[in-house]
A and B are shown apart, each in its own frame.
Chain A
């Protein structure tokens, strides 16, 4: 695993990054959607490489199976005549490329400069101040070695599902005498209501209507 991980990472990262660049550069909207398919599949591979098997599976199911089919249906329903490749002017392309490269260089320089390593330590100058309302208990966080040794694929899935059902699985806080762990029941309910609203809204907006006769340029 340790020997194969860099090779796999560079392979998957090359596929993902080149497909993303292809999705930007492609002028035809159908080709752009096809490049997006490879980008989404590649990032699902990155998630599998990072041990997040549930997130990778959901990425393939929801993104590649659902969202991309929606996008391709949108392309097919609207791709008529000249709209299949409308191009921006080359001046707009040049400005966008310059701004994008500047943004990318800023991000990469910051990533190389910040040196993230291990869990965050409290800085000595802020040691006396009480920044968070409750103290974070780090000894209850799962150790990385134990998680690496546990190769059961159902491990994360079970924990995440318990967290959605209201069992405390998140970071631990000391409150009063006991230790309280965060659960994710409220965000789960919020997302459920949000999906219901989105479903009703999309069905209302996308309903079949009589098409107007005149063409507005």
Chain B
């Protein structure tokens, strides 16, 4: 089998990114949109770690920024879920199409 290079890892990251974009576009449940955002951030993370492995100049930087992305994604998920729960309490639905007027 051929040795695995940077290209294969970047293609895997691109696949996760595109899956996340399609997920954000097609899900009508607000939590489904959040799942799409998580997929996009994971695709970016795979790219960062792959570059840090294959390019010695970015060795520490890639891992550190991947850690920052993970932490920021956790914060983003917490705030987004709080907003979704608040919206559900007020409107009794999680359909993003009915969130046209966000008066709270």
Q: Measuring CB to CB, which residues of chain A are less than 8 angstroms from any residue of chain B?
A: 2, 5-7, 9, 13, 16-17, 20-21, 23-24, 29, 32-33, 36, 39-40, 43, 46-47, 50-52, 54-55, 58-59, 62-63, 66-67, 70-71, 73-75, 77-78, 83, 86-88, 92-93, 96-97, 99-101, 103-104, 107-108, 111-112, 116-120, 136, 138, 141-144, 147, 156, 159-160, 163-164, 169-171, 184, 187, 191, 194-195, 198-199, 201-203, 205-206, 209, 211-212, 215-217
Contacts and interface: CB of A to CB of B under 8 A. Distances in A.
Interface of B: 1-4, 6-12, 14-23, 25-29, 31-32, 34-36, 38-39, 42, 45-46, 49-50, 52-57, 59-64, 66-68, 70-79, 81-86, 88-95, 98
B56 A142 contact: yes
29 contacts: A13-B8, A17-B16, A32-B23, A32-B27, A36-B35, A40-B38, A52-B49, A55-B67, A63-B70, A67-B38, A67-B77, A88-B26, A92-B26, A97-B22, A107-B18, A111-B10, A112-B7, A116-B7, A116-B10, A119-B57, A138-B57, A142-B56, A156-B60, A194-B72, A198-B78, A201-B79, A202-B82, A205-B86, A211-B89
A93 B26 contact: yes
Given A46-B49, A107-B17, A70 B81 contact: yes
B22 to A, nearest CB: 4
Contact of B91 (A23, A39, A88, A216): A216
